A and B are shown apart, each in its own frame.
Chain A
Amino acid sequence: MKNGVGVAQNIVLFGGTSEIGQAIIQKLVKPGVSHVVLVSRDIDAADVQIADVADRYPDLEVHHVRFNADDSASMVHVVAEVVQQVGDIDVAVIAQGVLQEGVDYYADPAALQSVADVNFTGTMVLMYALAAQMRSQGYGKMVLMSSVAGERVRKGNPVYGATKAGVDGFALALDHELVGSGVSVLVVRPGFVTTKMTKGMDKAPFSTDAETVASAVEKAIGSSRTVIWVPGLLQYMFLILKNLPTAVWRRLPL
């Protein structure tokens, strides 16, 4: 549960090496947090980044669980393992994802499969497993890292955009289904975030950083909001972009 001042006791990060995910954890860890669980493929990499949080809060226990984000069949087991280690999952930050900018899917269709497995299928199975666990707890918050890329899928990276569109829609419907259970979902739609994932890419307009995304999540997590955009202005920009006639949209240099 969270306490009276909005601090959750047990926080779990799926995609434990995600920069945005780690930034969110840094913001959410406050006096009152008992356990942080990092769920990742590469435990050592996840640990290095969380080290300074652990230093600031000597009573905080940091745990690790290994998972393969593309192995959707294992998600129920992964959630069970987290519960085994810390008990209730009060906040789950779901940040695993692959971008694969510039891949030629004509030449490498298998690459498409792995993007879909991580961003879409694996995430949905994970969220169902979390929803079941949190329902039984009578409390829980899932924070899904979505993206503006799913709002209107670009020619430049159609597979990534399509998986984000899919999982974003799924998460909203799941939140709807969970009304009254004490469990809710926060869908986070950042624009271009400068991280290792986007290293080497040209910055898009209204780009942001992990710290800003994390602050927005920290603010929204105690509210009743279902969706946030970072920066907030993107909500209005995409309202326009989404409704542009196809002929105009296709001329844009996106």
Chain B
Amino acid sequence: MSERLWGILVDSFPKILVPGLTMTLPLTAIAFAFAMVLAIFMALVQFANVPVLKQLSRFHIWVFRGTPLLLQLMLIFYGLPNLGILIEPFPAAVLVFSLNEGAYCAEIVRAALEAVPSGQLEAGYCVGMSYLQTMRRIVLPQAMRTAFPSLANSLIAMMKDTSLASTITVTEMLMASQRIIARTYEPLALYMEAGVIYLLFSTVLTKLQQIGEKKLGAYTAKEG
């Protein structure tokens, strides 16, 4: 490797990593937090068969799973101004990723809720607990344990998908690398460098997933 290229790589490493830490990760964390709230809400209203809210949830999931994420970003950022609605790039990205991720996670949580044996709810009733008490203390915690690996998987996928936010001018890692490429004409090396940093982030998240699963796994430790 030439000294010049090595110099570029060393020089650009913090210039890609810092947007990763200040944009990619915050975008991922904030959007995922909103997505989880939305997902749990949409899963619960479907599970409990709440009229109207259930249909709204199904509609939301239908739309956001049925259209490309890239198109959703474009529509919100470049499309809404036609209606006079202007949203800054970062909030626009948070909005789209929350709604999109929420749709996918809602399905994961709903499936997990349905996997909790119905006897758990019945047992709750029989010790005198209400539906809401039993859902909150017994059914939902068990469902979240079941859903955890899939949700973590979805989180890692979303972290990588935040690279699409570069198309709506969010200066995250991909955009940062592209700016350096425009200056240096070294796409191979710099895309690889960005890839390595993404890999680093995913590895940390995977590790966190393992720790989380272990911690949550206490009550299923000796199953069978």
Are A and B subunits of one complex? no
* Chain A interface (Cβ < 8 Å from any Cβ of B): none
- B residues engaging A (CB < 8 A)? none
